[in-house]
Chains A and B, each alone.
Chain A
């Protein structure tokens, strides 16, 4: 899994950042520049700056929590597990989709030429209806997920014991089982930004998880669904999804495998 880090050669290091890397605690002052949207007051979103002193080894979610608890209780966002499991806190941090709870402050803090930390920008994921601040309407996202039938489809009687599968057969789809439905991939896709009718990478990843499962018998149905006008053929292999996935899933590869399966099953 690729955790984004500051490029040592491009960014001047401060004592605080060095300390953060060596494990000592040294606090730094950062600015969170959050794109706020209040649906009850104004039709447009505005950027609001919050300054706070933090340990750079903490996570962006810790900083956002502190803003909510200490500075402005109206700040609205989703988070639950705080450990990269539930997938509820995907957001655009410094223009890249990330889970706030898996992103260390030191990894998104760059210093300007005066040695002052540049603001960390935080906004809602793109391509979805913004309801308030960082909260977006996930219904269309889950609709696309439901549309690919993300459940085991079999015929005949269920076996009395578990459905046996070889290690090799597991490896065929193991990568796509790791998805936590955070929507970081789908909301990083430029095709989806402009045309949200596209199924999007997350739905395809979750279709892939069953299409290539040797125990499943619904592959043909799911392939037909993704053969749709808004299906896999809309993918333009920009790899934004693969870069965005906090689980390190090879999303673009999964989409290409579905395309290949669609072509080879007939020819």
Chain B
């Protein structure tokens, strides 16, 4: 640090040289190498686009789903095994539910990935939360898909 003639301190190097000095550091500071490990893919752009496009489709799928399940024909009281069996007898509702399952799960999972990126500070925490997220997503999507395709209305 240099001092000029009127006693003002000029910061020549903003990193303190005194090793004993305290600092108040933010989480996950940018470093010189941050941009060095650059990803050469369009993954983030495609994820961003997917959130918006799936959102538009989900407006219709989810609202339609909620109205059919919760509002029309006496609301929730009509939902039974027979009601579900009746709807899934039609390929149209099978396709609707399959699309809704995949879009909502991928949309929600990518949204949660954003939340983890925003809030988890330590690299280890970030990694394991994402592992958990992917496992839960894959499990739910596969199980849901399996049920839609193998649903047996005459199960005993």
A positions within 8 Å CB-CB of B: 37, 39-40, 42-45, 76, 78, 126-131, 135, 137-141, 143-144, 147, 190-191, 193-199, 225, 227-231, 233-234, 236, 259, 262-263, 266
Contacts and interface: CB of A to CB of B under 8 A. Distances in A.
B26 A128 contact: yes
9 contacts: A37-B24, A39-B22, A129-B24, A194-B28, A195-B118, A196-B26, A196-B30, A225-B35, A229-B43
Contact of A140 (B16, B21, B29, B45): B29
B42 to A, nearest CB: 7
Given A39-B22, A228-B35, A144 B49 contact: no
Nearest to A128: B26
B73 interface: no
Contact of A193 (B9, B21, B26, B45): B26
Interface of B: 9, 11, 14-16, 18, 20-32, 34-35, 38-39, 42-45, 47-49, 114, 117-119, 121
B22 A42 contact: yes
Nearest to A42: B22
Contacts of B20: 40
Contacts, number: 102
Contacts of B117: 195, 234
Nearest to A76: B9
Contact of B34 (A131, A194, A230): A230
Contact of B29 (A40, A44, A129, A263): A129
Given A129-B24, A130-B23, A195-B28, A263 B45 contact: yes
A229 B23 contact: no
A184 B34 CA distance: 21
B47 A233 contact: yes
Nearest to A41: B22
Contacts of A140: 29-31
A128 B14 CA distance: 12
Given A139-B15, A140-B30, A228 B44 contact: yes
B11 A135 contact: yes
A139 B14 contact: yes
A201 B30 CA distance: 14
A92 to B, nearest CB: 14
Contacts of B35: 143-144, 147, 199, 225, 228, 230
A30 B45 CA distance: 49
B30 A259 contact: no
Given A196-B29, A198-B30, A229-B38, 5 more contacts: A39-B23, A143-B34, A196-B28, A225-B35, A225-B38
Contacts of B34: 143-144, 147, 197, 230
B14 A228 contact: no
Contact of B26 (A39, A127, A266): A127
A231 B44 contact: yes
Given A140-B30, A191-B118, A233 B45 contact: yes
A131 B121 contact: no
Nearest to B25: A129
A29 to B, nearest CB: 28
